[in-house]
Structure 1
Amino acid sequence: MNRYQDTMDRLRFTPEQKEDMVDRLMASEVATPRRVLPIRRLAAAGVAAALVLSLGAAGATGALGEVGAAFSAIFGSSAQTEVIDKIGYPVGASDTDHGITVTADAIVGDTYSYAVVYTIQREDGTALVSDDVLARAANPETEALPLAFQSHDTTPRGYKGGSHARTWFFDADPADNAIQFVELRTQDTPIQPGELTVQLRDLELYNEDYTACTTLAEGSWTLKFQLDFEDSSRVLPCGQTFRLDGAEAELNTITLSPLSIQVDYTVHGAGDPSLDWIEPLSLSLTYTDGTTLDLSHAGGSSAYGEDGVNCQKSMIFDQILSLDEVASITVGDVVIPVTQ
């Protein structure tokens, strides 16, 4: 049996609110559960205007500079422009139903992970959400718009594995009538080039205490576009052993990219199958200047096999990295250099 986990530690909701949101999302798709996390930064003034202009030019010119603008609200306005333009591309796929258009603006990806930014807006130019709803996103206790899709299915063609994701809504520019939706997804097997189908249904609004939803806008939207990244991932040398909660664990592979990290390891003699072997694993990144980035809150998956518990701990970073600035990865007490 596969178990999927994604940390909830950084959510700024009460435990009851978190549980309610997770239950709703888990019920919509058992095979690939997903949980909503708040955006941790808002776009700087003017980002949305740059996004609209740049995405309009993308289809005609094929230029990639607009990818950084599309993701500036996710990875920060100082995102590694050259790096993000290399690993991503504008999309432009859209679908309209009940007078509402959903457009996939841009995508970035690597071996196991990808991130997509969508824009949602009414065709008649009226605002999709009220000022009161926008004000709720400004509350530091929530940070994200209190919205959810009633159902959300993301399916790469022919994919049989599992995945875990973070999704949330935000407003890049309160002066326009559009809002944005972002999905950060990690698979447990490598992404294969090909068509991705995204199916969305009914936009819903959470009440003030996040215990229930009402329908904000009915609709069914299906978008299809290609997964075809220039993969800049590095596979680090592994095979080292370490102790994890009293059991012996072995590192199988570590895949590092400017977008994400995935650590594959096996816990031998794990014993009780109900134990969690994802959260206890300490994981960090050390930069060449000596500073560190704690990644222990990453989510992942585990599956019981003949050799023990096979685990994958992974996450998409808060910022796009330049791998030239990464010195090493530490898993448990094992330090793995990143060769420059």
Structure 2
Amino acid sequence: MEQEDINNSDIRLIFKDFGYSPYNKSKGEYEDFVSLIKGNWTLNFKLNCKDTSKTYIINKSYKVNNKKVHVKTVTLSPLSVKIKSNGKYNHFISKVTMKDSTVYSGNDFFISNTSSYSTIGMDLFGRSESYASFSKILNPKDIKSITINDEIEVMMP
């Protein structure tokens, strides 16, 4: 699926009532919405941003538990990282290490992973893309490495 480029578009956000849905721990579910301020608000703005992401060609193979993983590219932006790879390996970004030795992991970013596989003859060939969105803005030039599944450390050029 191809993403639509919405840059330079007019954006309209419409809000109704300000409030929250309380979480009931004993039931393990959210309760009905509690309205704090009733009303309607509309926010209009033009989305105008510059894509500052940079894609690095890695083209390096790694072996983990007798499985070969070939990391093709890593794309970095101030808010995210994306890794494209091939191999019979389901992976996720587990850690980002900065040049100053600061490590971001766990709650420091949100992870998303997509994989697709096709059968070619008797061999199963996989393609995978993993994403991590950072919870704060990072300078991509300061990223030293990306770690996959706590096993593969992909060094940035």
Please give the TM-score of this superposition, normalised by the length of structure 2. 0.63
Alignment counterpart, residue 135 of structure 2, candidates 294, 304, 318 = 318
Kept after mapping to 1: 8 A contact 2:8/2:49 = no
Matched, 1:260 2:77: no
Quickly say closer, same or farther: Cα 1:252–1:203, change in 2 above 3 A. Answer: farther
SS at match of 2:145: strand
* CA displacement 1:231-254 (0-9 Å, x = unmatched): 222212222233567643332321
Aligned to 2:101: 290
Quote the residue 2:7 is aligned against.
193
Aligned amino acid, residue 227 of structure 1:
L
Aligned-residue Cα RMSD (Å) equals: 3.5
Q: Larger % of strand: which? A: 2
Alignment of 1:185-334 (within 5 A): 189=3, 191-195=5-9, 196-207=11-22, 209=24, 211-216=30-35, 217=37, 221-243=41-63, 247-268=67-88, 277-278=90-91, 281-294=92-105, 298-306=110-118, 307-315=125-133, 317-331=134-148, 332-334=151-153
> In the alignment, residue 137 of structure 2 is paired with which amino acid?
I
Q: What SS does structure 2 have at the residue aligned with 1:239?
A: strand
Whole-angstrom distance in 2 between the partners of 1:233 and 1:240? 21
Identify the range of structure 1 (208-217 vs 227-236) with the bigger mean alpha-carbon deviation. 208-217
Provide the rounded CA distance (Å) in 2 between the counterparts of 1:235 and 1:246: 28
The residue type equivalent to 1:252 in the other structure is K
Aligned to 2:121: none
For the Cα contact (< 8 Å) 1:242–1:334, is it kept in 2?
no
Which residues of structure 1 form unaligned runs of 5+?
1-159, 162-188, 271-276
The letter of the residue matching 1:233 is: S
Tell me which protein shows more helix as a share of its residues. Answer: 1
* Aligned 8 A contact 1:200 1:222 in 2: yes
CA distance in 1, matches of 2:103, 2:33: 43
Instruction: Tell me if structure 2 keeps the 8 A contact 1:327–1:337.
Output: yes
Q: Distance in 2 between matches of 1:211 and 1:246?
A: 44
Counterpart residue type for residue 265 of structure 1: S
Counterpart CA distance in 1 for 2:42 and 2:69 is 42
Can you list the C-alpha shifts for 1:208-229, whole angstroms capped at 9, x where unaligned?
6263122405555554433321
Residue 326 of structure 1 deviates from its aligned partner by 2.9
Cα-to-partner distance string for 1:173-205 (whole Å, 9 max, x where unaligned): xxxxxxxxxxxxxxxx48542324444445442
Query: Map of 1:1-340 to 2, 5 A cutoff?
Result: 189=3, 191-195=5-9, 196-207=11-22, 209=24, 211-216=30-35, 217=37, 221-243=41-63, 247-268=67-88, 277-278=90-91, 281-294=92-105, 298-306=110-118, 307-315=125-133, 317-331=134-148, 332-338=151-157
For 1:222 and 1:228, the matched residues in 2 are separated by 19
5+ residue gaps, structure 2? 119-124
Give % identity.
19
2:122 aligns with none
Find the aligned partners of 1:214 and 1:300 in 2 and give their Cα distance.
29
Q: Give the deviation of 1:256 after TM superposition.
A: 1.2
